[in-house]
């Protein structure tokens, strides 16, 4: 099968990259989908090391390069069919979104529109869920627009909030959902593309 027949995914990650790793594992030797690059705004991100282990090109970029279009031009060289933000913390510039309409998705560790917005990531989300005494939490996979966590939802999965939950326990349960559902939703979106 020629490489051009594969659907191509570029991942953006800022931290550990466990979702990036899960995507790399899931699509390693996939019949029709390839992870072709990982970009990070954090030179210390463990996600970079995870990508290297899969022989996936990994690039670090600055805020200036993200804003001035340099990163967009680099991403274009990989000709992605989908861009996946997997634990990526910066707001995506409007010119980048315009270049890939409805082809940039994000995974958020809560049931949006609750507990979204600037600064709402990782343990901050789980702490807020517990402080508000929510009965359930979960994940939202959504399209990316110019605002934090406001793009249209593609998929949500709910999990209970237990009485004994700490932010760490809730985070573990939610992360398991992310690892289970993100690859499947990426696969579904790419298989629906013409």
pLDDT tens-digit readout, 171-190: 999 999 999 999 999 999 99
The predicted pLDDT at position 5 comes to: 86
Any idea which residues carry the catalytic annotation? 108
Domains of the chain as residue ranges with CATH: 3-192 (3.40.50.170)
Asked whether the predicted pLDDT for residue 169 surpasses 80, the reply is yes
Nearest CA among 74, 94, 102 for reference residue 12: 74
Report the share of the chain in percent with pLDDT over 90.
96
What's the mean pLDDT in 117-143? 96
Cβ neighbours of residue 161 under 8 Å, at least 6 residues apart?
129, 130, 134, 135, 136, 137, 170
CB 140 within 8 A of CB 155: yes
Q: Are strands 136-143 and 153-160 parallel, antiparallel or unpaired?
A: antiparallel
pLDDT-derived band of residue 46, with 50, 70 and 90 as boundaries? very high
Mean pLDDT for all residues in the chain: 96
| Tokens (6 digits) for 117 | 């917005």
The predicted pLDDT at position 3 comes to: 55
pLDDT-derived band of residue 20, with 50, 70 and 90 as boundaries? very high
The predicted pLDDT at position 193 comes to: 87
What's the mean pLDDT in 11-17? 96
pLDDT tens-digit readout, 51-98: 999 999 999 999 999 999 999 999 999 999 999 999 999 999 999 999
């Amino acid at each position: 099968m020629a490489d051009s027949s594969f659907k191509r995914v570029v991942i953006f990650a800022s931290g550990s990259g466990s979702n990036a790793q899960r995507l790399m594992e899931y699509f390693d030797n996939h019949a029709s989908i390839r992870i072709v690059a990982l970009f990070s705004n954090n030179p210390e991100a463990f996600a970079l090391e995870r990508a290297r282990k899969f022989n996936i090109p990994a690039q670090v970029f600055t805020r200036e390069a993200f804003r001035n279009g340099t990163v967009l031009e680099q991403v274009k060289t990989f000709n992605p069919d989908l861009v996946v933000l997997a634990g990526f913390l910066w707001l995506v510039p409007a010119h980048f979104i315009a270049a890939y309409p409805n082809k940039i998705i994000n995974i958020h560790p809560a049931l949006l529109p609750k507990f979204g917005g600037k600064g709402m990531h990782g343990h901050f989300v789980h702490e807020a869920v517990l402080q508000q005494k929510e009965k359930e939490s979960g994940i939202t996979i959504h399209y990316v627009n110019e605002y934090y966590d406001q793009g249209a939802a593609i998929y949500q999965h709910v999990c209970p909030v237990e009485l004994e939950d700490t932010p760490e326990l809730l985070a573990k349960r939610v992360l398991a959902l992310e690892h289970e559902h993100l690859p499947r939703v990426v696969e579904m979106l790419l298989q629906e593309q013409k």
